Amino acid sequence: MGGFGRYLAAALAARIASEGMGMAVVMLALERTGSAAHGAFVLTAWLAPHVLAAPLAGVAAARARRPRLFHAGALAGFATAVATLTVLLGRAPVPLVLAVAVLGGSCGPMVTGGLSSLITGLVPAGPGRDRAYGWDAATYNAAAVTAPAAVGLVAALGSAGPAMAALAASGALAAILAATLPYEEQGAGQGPGAPRAGLGAGLAALWRVRELRAVTSATTLGFVGIGSLTTVSVLLATELGTPGGGGVLMTAFAVGALGGSLTLGRVTSVESGRLARWALAGTGAALAAAACAPSTAVAAALFALAGVCDGPLLTATLRIRAQYAPDGARTQVFTLGAGLKMTAASTGAALVGVAADVPAAALLTGIAGLLLAAALLHTLMAAPKPGRPDRPDHEGATGTSGGSATTAAGPRTPEGP
């Protein structure tokens, strides 16, 4: 298996472990303590550190003398935390369990953006790298489809404990595979004489570079809606007379997203910013239609369509980060962007919990509105300022995603996670 093939295997294994945690933690807590709320507290402790740990993880990765060892160690720490929670949850004092969850969650940014940032060192610049981002995005969507199903199946055959243990094993496999990747030999790490970005470099890049600012702001707003979609899907299915059908709706969305990332996400003739806008707008429009669906079957079809539209969004986002992030802050840009989206999703989940008595159709319409607003926000923020040439708002953009950076002369072509 080549270097990029091993990367995809490592990324898929790590993201399966990450995606399965939400369901497995709650199921294990319910099984051992009789309280789903206990699992929710542990899950909150797991997710909360992501945005705070993201810049620290990015700086540490950029400054590591042995980047391969750092990435493999972060994944090993992630897997160890999952395994430790498997043993302690419901059996050890709550403060200890929460502390382990916080430590494990702090490794989370390296499972998402941290891994994706390695692609520039594994795949040469050009159309091949653009397609590589499409495949990377597919690992997120594939994990979103398979992880909850695998956790549910293992738990049904035995208990939630073995399901959590399986996630820990998946994380350990990711760490082992990451330790074999050849990105250090291909220039992924910074050389001894390379400039070292400070702790705020990633945040500064996200704010100062127009393309990064636009996509980060838009996806963060959009993920406030996406984060509440799981809860709203359960409420919508119940209102449509199919209690328990929320899983069907979210599975349809995830399968559609996987298909979208493998098809639309591999399109290289559309400029990445435009692809992101279309993805946000298309997802919002499909979910707005689903809010008016007369049955769960029709809603599932529209959720699948929304997923197809959502599929290329991550691909476009990763391409933009790779193309416009400064060399010294690239990992920070990836980890921070992922952390902000996860925090936004957590906020959306909390908000819909407060508004759970509102009709599901109205809530889904609100989610659609957020996504459409995100598309509009990107359009406004990505437009060059009046009186300035239409060029990347970033001095020293490397254009590492293949082809030249987007300019007034025309958009760059190629791309794909």
User: Kind and range of the H or E element at 23?
Assistant: helix 3-33
What lies within 8 Å, CB to CB, of 137 at 6+ separation is 261, 265, 311, 312, 314, 315, 318, 416, 417
**In this structure, are 155 and 208 located in the same domain?**
no
Amino acid at 384: P
The segment with the largest mean pLDDT, out of 118-127, 349-358, 371-380, is 371-380
Which of these three, 138, 160, 185, is where a domain ends?
A: 185
In a domain, 413, yes or no: no
**In this structure, are 45 and 161 located in the same domain?**
yes
What is the distance between the alpha carbons of residues 226 and 224, in angstroms, rounded to a whole number?
Answer: 6
Crossing angle (nearest 10°) for helices 229-239 and 360-382: 140
> Closest by alpha carbon to 73, among 225, 353, 65?
65
How many domains are there within the chain? 2
- DSSP-based three-state secondary structure for 410: strand
> Closest by alpha carbon to 172, among 8, 16, 339, 5?
16
> Closest by alpha carbon to 322, among 134, 59, 176?
134
> Closest by alpha carbon to 406, among 382, 385, 387?
382
Mean pLDDT on 120-140: 84
Q: Looking at per-residue confidence, does 265 or 294 come out higher? A: 294
CB atoms within 10 A of CB 354: 8
Which of these three, 185, 214, 229, is where a domain ends?
A: 185
Q: Looking at per-residue confidence, does 184 or 267 come out higher? A: 267
CB 94 within 8 A of CB 104: no
> Per-residue confidence at 1, pLDDT binned at 50, 70, 90?
low
**In this structure, are 219 and 76 located in the same domain?**
no
**In this structure, are 175 and 225 located in the same domain?**
no
For 72-82, give one letter per residue: b (16+ CB within 10 A) or e: bbbbbbbbbbb
CB 365 within 8 A of CB 291: yes
Amino acid at 301: A
> Closest by alpha carbon to 265, among 285, 279, 281, 249?
279
The range of the structural domain enclosing residue 333 comes to 199-384
Q: What's the pLDDT tens digit per position in 72-98?
A: 999 999 999 999 999 999 999 999 999
What is the distance between the alpha carbons of residues 403 and 383, in angstroms, rounded to a whole number?
Answer: 21
Mean pLDDT on 137-164: 87
DSSP 304-372: HHHHHHHHHHHHHHHHHHHHHS-GGGHHHHHHHHHHHHHHHHHHHHHHHHHTTTS-HHHHHHHHHHHHH
**In this structure, are 237 and 348 located in the same domain?**
yes
What lies within 8 Å, CB to CB, of 59 at 6+ separation is 197, 198, 199, 201, 202, 332
> Per-residue confidence at 408, pLDDT binned at 50, 70, 90?
very low
CA dihedral 288, 293, 152, 261 (to 10 degrees): -50
Percent of the chain surpassing pLDDT 90: 39
Q: List 407's β-bridge partners, or say none.
A: 410
> Per-residue confidence at 387, pLDDT binned at 50, 70, 90?
low
What is the distance between the alpha carbons of residues 159 and 151, in angstroms, rounded to a whole number?
Answer: 10
What is the distance between the alpha carbons of residues 77 and 3, in angstroms, rounded to a whole number?
Answer: 23
Mean pLDDT on 40-67: 77
**In this structure, are 149 and 230 located in the same domain?**
no
**In this structure, are 160 and 219 located in the same domain?**
no
Which of these three, 130, 152, 185, is where a domain ends?
A: 185
Residue 371's domain is classified under what CATH number?
A: 1.20.1250.20
**In this structure, are 173 and 203 located in the same domain?**
no
Amino acid at 121: G
**In this structure, are 161 and 18 located in the same domain?**
yes
Range in 134-143, 186-195, 225-234, 276-285 with the lowest mean pLDDT: 186-195
What is the distance between the alpha carbons of residues 179 and 188, in angstroms, rounded to a whole number?
Answer: 14
Mean pLDDT on 387-393: 49
**In this structure, are 126 and 237 located in the same domain?**
no
At residue 188, the pLDDT reads 45
Distances (CA, A) of 66 to 73, 101, 188, 189, 407: 11, 26, 11, 8, 36
**In this structure, are 166 and 216 located in the same domain?**
no
What is the distance between the alpha carbons of residues 165 and 158, in angstroms, rounded to a whole number?
Answer: 12
What is the distance between the alpha carbons of residues 354 and 415, in angstroms, rounded to a whole number?
Answer: 40
In a domain, 227, yes or no: yes
- DSSP-based three-state secondary structure for 80: helix
At residue 199, the pLDDT reads 62
Q: What's the pLDDT tens digit per position in 57-78?
A: 777 777 777 778 888 999 999 9
What share of residues in the chain are helix, strand, coil (percent, to 5)?
A: 75, 0, 25
Cα 152 from chain centre: 22
CB 335 within 8 A of CB 74: no
**In this structure, are 172 and 250 located in the same domain?**
no
pTM assigned to the model? 0.77
Q: What is the mean pLDDT of the chain?
A: 83
